[in-house]
Chain A
Amino acid sequence: MIEFHLDSRSGVAPYLQLIQQVRQALRLGLLREGDQLPTVKEVSGALAINPNTVLKAYRELEYEGLAAAKPGVGTFVTKTLTDESIAAHQQLAKDLLCWYREARAAGLDTESIDGIYRQTVRSALQEEAV
């Protein structure tokens, strides 16, 4: 069982934070196939958040095929995100580090670097969406 927490200053919607925490727990192996997620009532009570927020997160996880609801029992993990991509992560992080150093060498400050990164990801996402 995992315990959720919310960062109210992150600017990320609470239901997304819940989803991210489940995904992260799956990647780290804290959650495995067959594990039960806390019930909607437990999460709402513990975090003092609207039950619909929790439902929305769980529905999204179901939609992604990561979890399934058993009526009257609870929501269970249906997939393990064992990471075959960990190796790729490391290489990508290395590449990003090279890029970061290049940007620093070109005189950019952290804020500009962050801005370029976000802008690039945003336009890439927009292109993908078209």
Chain B
Amino acid sequence: MTAAIEARGLGKQYGRRWALTDCTLSIPAGHVVGLVGPNGAGKTTLINLSTGMLAPTAGSIAVLGKQPASDPGQLAKVGYVAQDTPTYSGMSVEDHLRFVAHMNPAWDNGMAVKRVQQLGLDLKQKAGKLSGGQRAQLALTLAIAKRPQLLMLDEPIASLDPLARREFLQILMEATAEQELSVVMSSHLVADLERVADYLIVLVASRVQIAGEVDNLLATHHLVTGPRRDPDALPLSQRVITASHTDRQSTMLVRSDEPVVDPSWSASQIDLEDLVLAYMGQARDGSPGMTDQVGTKVLEEKR
């Protein structure tokens, strides 16, 4: 199957600053990808490179096997909802449907109208009069009803209240199940992605820190605690992500394909949030980009 997104050494430079550096990814189709990272990490840049809104400074990117926005067929296959789910405030809901229908050959008007009715939106209402939640729902409906194979959502729920967030994710997940969509959704909040994402990319300081299937990431990361020891003394199969020590005890997050069996250690599973925070912390305190080398660690002496 063609990868949803395939990037090789992808980079984007603004003036002297690299917004995205040496990004190599291969995201299989059929996933809901959570793109996580702090503000300014390069999430929007990666999304804009994928939709063809930006051209790369370095490297290459293919979306569904082709260069982004290279022809009308490619444009029709990719749905995109920009940050803060913009709509045209002077246009009515109905006008939005008509407008987007004109632009998209595979437009499913029946579905769009049905969803708008389910949402309780008035077709005659101007988009500018909608609440933030309703506007987000309208933007999502437009993107789904064009029947894309890949849907890119840039921080779609950051500004929504909890109820609107949930409703947004409900519709998104229902559409994902129904249309066999691939979805890439960015957020700086892991909690928003916890149940919906089955593939995770952590982006910090313009670099991809880790990427992979959520189940696999959670199964290969272990939080171990035990008597104090030097992280370098661990078996080579265990890569230390973070480590902190007191004078007697060491706590480390290690990545290992095999279970941690050392009897003097107690190992526990971590959740997605812990995992993301560990990689964010590592990127901030350690040397970014060194994450693939054995033994990269953050040492924190606590006495």
A interface residues, Cβ below 8 angstroms from B: 6, 8, 11, 14, 40-41, 44-54
Report the minimal beta-carbon distance from B237 to chain A, rounded to whole angstroms.
20
Contacts beyond the supplied A48-B166, A51-B173, A54-B177: 6 A-B pairs with Cβ under 8 Å: A11-B271, A44-B173, A48-B173, A50-B197, A52-B198, A53-B198
8 closest Cβ contacts across the A-B interface? A45-B174, A51-B177, A48-B169, A41-B177, A44-B173, A44-B177, A49-B195, A48-B170
For the residues of A in contact with B, the DSSP-based class is helix
Of A6, A8, A46, A53, the contact of B170 (CB 8 Å cutoff): A46
Of B30, B177, B196, B271, the contact of A40 (CB 8 Å cutoff): B177
| Contact across chains for B195 and A53 when beta carbons are under 8 A apart | yes
Report the minimal beta-carbon distance from B202 to chain A, rounded to whole angstroms.
18
Contacts of B172 in A (CB 8 A): 48
A6 to B169, CA, bound (A): 15
| Contact across chains for B177 and A48 when beta carbons are under 8 A apart | no
Give how many A-B residue pairs fall within 8 Å (CB-CB). Answer: 49
A-B contact pairs, 6 of them (CB 8 A): A44-B173, A47-B170, A48-B166, A48-B196, A49-B195, A51-B177
Contacts of A44 in B (CB 8 A): 173-174, 176-177
* B window 206-226: CB within 8 A of A: none
A11 to B271, CA, bound (A): 8
In the assembled complex, B171 has its CB within 8 A of some CB on chain A = yes
| Contact across chains for A50 and B171 when beta carbons are under 8 A apart | no
Of B173, B195, B197, the contact of A45 (CB 8 Å cutoff): B173
Contacts of A8 in B (CB 8 A): 194-195
| Contact across chains for A50 and B174 when beta carbons are under 8 A apart | no
Q: B172, B173, B198 — which one has the most chain A CB atoms within 10 A of its CB?
A: B173
| Contact across chains for B170 and A50 when beta carbons are under 8 A apart | no
Residue of A with least CB distance to B172: A48
* B window 152-177: CB within 8 A of A: 166, 169-174, 176-177
A17 to B173, CA, bound (A): 18
* B window 137-160: CB within 8 A of A: none
Chain B, 232-251, contact with A by CB distance < 8 Å: what is the 0/1 string? 00000000000000000000
A3 to B170, CA, bound (A): 15
In the assembled complex, B32 has its CB within 8 A of some CB on chain A = yes
A41 to B177, CA, bound (A): 5
- Using A48-B173, A50-B32 as known contacts, say yes or no to A6 and B195 having CB atoms under 8 A apart: yes
Contacts of B271 in A (CB 8 A): 11
Contacts of B292 in A (CB 8 A): none
